[in-house]
């Protein structure tokens, strides 16, 4: 087997300089005219873009790494780009943990129903702390409606009264430390990926 004397058309290589060598082109996804690059088009076709009628594209290797994949495993095809420079983890990818949260409530109303009772006995005209309401007496004197708290008289249930309190719990829960994208970029150094556009026509093995 004789060695190939020069670069092959369509060959992709790294270049350590800050310019693209003559006969090569930066792998930046640029479109080329088919009529001016028939040989290169015959090799890569529209694998990396172009309409296939008047244009085709060179690979775009800016900020991505090429991967040898001849078997086309799963959804990976010869020109499909996979991966991302940053990802956001889903809940099922995280260990059990807790977040700090804060709740900001708002004023609300509630409706409460209360039943009132009075003692079924005549009381006193002067009220004291802890007295119950009782039934009034007769005559023109002050109504003896205050029954001492020590009274054992029976209670008489009155109609309930309504107090305007309508409770509707509401507010906003704020969870701290909301997640963002996490960088997954490998350590790297900037170099130029270039594709040979003027070279020897490769032959199949």
Domain boundaries, the chain: 26-64+186-204
pLDDT one-digit tens code per residue, 115-145: 777 778 877 777 777 777 777 777 666 677 7
Tell me the mean pLDDT in the region 104-108.
Answer: 71
How far CA 151 is from CA of 24, 145, 161, in Å, comes to 109, 13, 24
**Going by C-beta distance under 8 Å and a sequence separation of 6 or more, which residues neighbour residue 196?**
7, 8, 9, 10, 11, 12, 13, 23, 24
pLDDT higher than 90, residue 191: yes
Q: Which CATH number does the domain 26-64+186-204 belong to among 1.10.860, 3.90.1340, 3.40.50, 2.30.30?
A: 3.90.1340
pLDDT at 96 over 50: yes
Rounded to two decimals, the pTM is 0.51
Higher-scoring residue by pLDDT: 150, 15: 15
pLDDT at 176: 61
pLDDT at 4 over 70: no
In this model, does residue 75 exceed pLDDT 50? no
């Amino acid at each position: 087997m004789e060695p190939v004397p020069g670069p092959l058309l369509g060959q992709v290589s790294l270049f350590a300089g800050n310019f693209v060598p003559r006969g090569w082109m930066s792998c930046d996804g640029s479109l080329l005219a088919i009529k001016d690059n028939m040989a290169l088009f015959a090799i890569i076709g529209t694998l990396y873009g172009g309409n296939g009628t008047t244009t085709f594209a060179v690979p775009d290797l800016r900020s991505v790494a090429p991967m040898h994949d001849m078997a086309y495993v799963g959804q990976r095809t010869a020109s499909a780009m996979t991966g991302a420079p940053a990802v956001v983890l889903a809940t099922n990818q995280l260990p059990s943990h807790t977040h700090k949260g804060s709740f900001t409530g708002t004023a609300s109303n509630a409706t409460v129903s209360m039943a009132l009772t009075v003692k079924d006995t005549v009381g006193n005209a002067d009220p004291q702390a802890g007295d119950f309401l009782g039934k009034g007496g007769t005559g023109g004197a002050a109504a003896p409606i205050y029954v001492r708290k020590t009274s054992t008289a029976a209670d008489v249930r009155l109609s309930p009264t309504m107090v305007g309190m309508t409770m509707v719990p509401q507010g906003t829960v704020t969870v701290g430390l909301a997640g963002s994208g996490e960088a997954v970029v490998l350590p790297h150094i900037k170099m130029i990926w270039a594709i040979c556009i003027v070279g020897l026509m490769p032959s199949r093995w």
